[in-house]
Amino acid sequence: MLLISIPLMRAALPAGDDAGTGPDRNPPYGRAHAPAGGLGEDGSVPTRILLEGRPGAGKTTALRGLATLLPDRPATGFTTEEIRQSGVRVGFALETLAGRREVLAHVDFPGPPRVGKYGVDLRVMERLALPTLRRAAESSGRLLLIDELGRMELACTAFRDAVDALFTAEVDVVATVHRHHDPFTDALRRRADIEVVHLTAANRDAIPGELAARLQR
């Protein structure tokens, strides 16, 4: 997730994330996968990628960079970013690629649910994330960018169901994910039609261009 410093109701978007926490022993690209979800209308196999990295590795910046490198692709999706006040993290904001933004989680939110010290407002997922995902699933050939498949976002059952549907739809999907284990994301990692790309401080500048080359149409 991208680190930003904003008051609760307004935000400015910086250029990048913190540096990674160390070298990653995993190669950047996972094994080759056989298609399991069928072909698109033009006969192509949908690209389904999990962009995995430690906190601060640059996943959000890489995803945004990928979107800017594909101006001719109709991309949709969202990013999730830290909210900081006086240098202290107090919550997380969700922003769609179309520019709609709301606070998803905050120390002052009561919940439920709660993830750590943060109360999560699942209505934000319903207002911003879910419509974006459902529109993408109904449009063959679109590109969907999700940041991220994290504990706060996955607290929304309808969001998990929508992600499951997207990974079988005729759309290209690139979604960021933490390296920690979770039953939902672990199941996605095991699927034969999903590729895991490991993002590190060493390769984060190159990954957006490499993925863009694969996603050009």
- 53-65 residue pLDDT tens: 998 899 999 999 9
pLDDT band at 31 (very low <50, low <70, confident <90, very high): very low
Of 129 and 33, the one with more pLDDT = 129
Quick one: CA torsion of 208, 52, 11, 111, rounded to 10 degrees? 160
pLDDT surpasses 80 at 8: no
- Arithmetic mean of pLDDT over the chain: 83
Q: Which long-range contacts (CB under 8 A, 24 or more apart) does 153-157 make?
A: 153/80, 153/104, 153/125, 153/129, 154/182, 154/184, 154/185, 155/113, 155/115, 155/120, 155/122, 156/122, 156/125, 156/126, 156/129, 156/130
| pLDDT value for 83 | 96
Check residue 21 and give its pLDDT.
37
> Which is more confidently placed, 122 or 21?
122
Q: With 70 as the cut, is the pLDDT of residue 149 above it?
A: yes
Taking Cα atoms as reference points, which of 204, 217, 159, 199 lies closest to residue 49?
199
Q: What's the pLDDT at 143?
A: 92
pLDDT at 185 over 60: yes
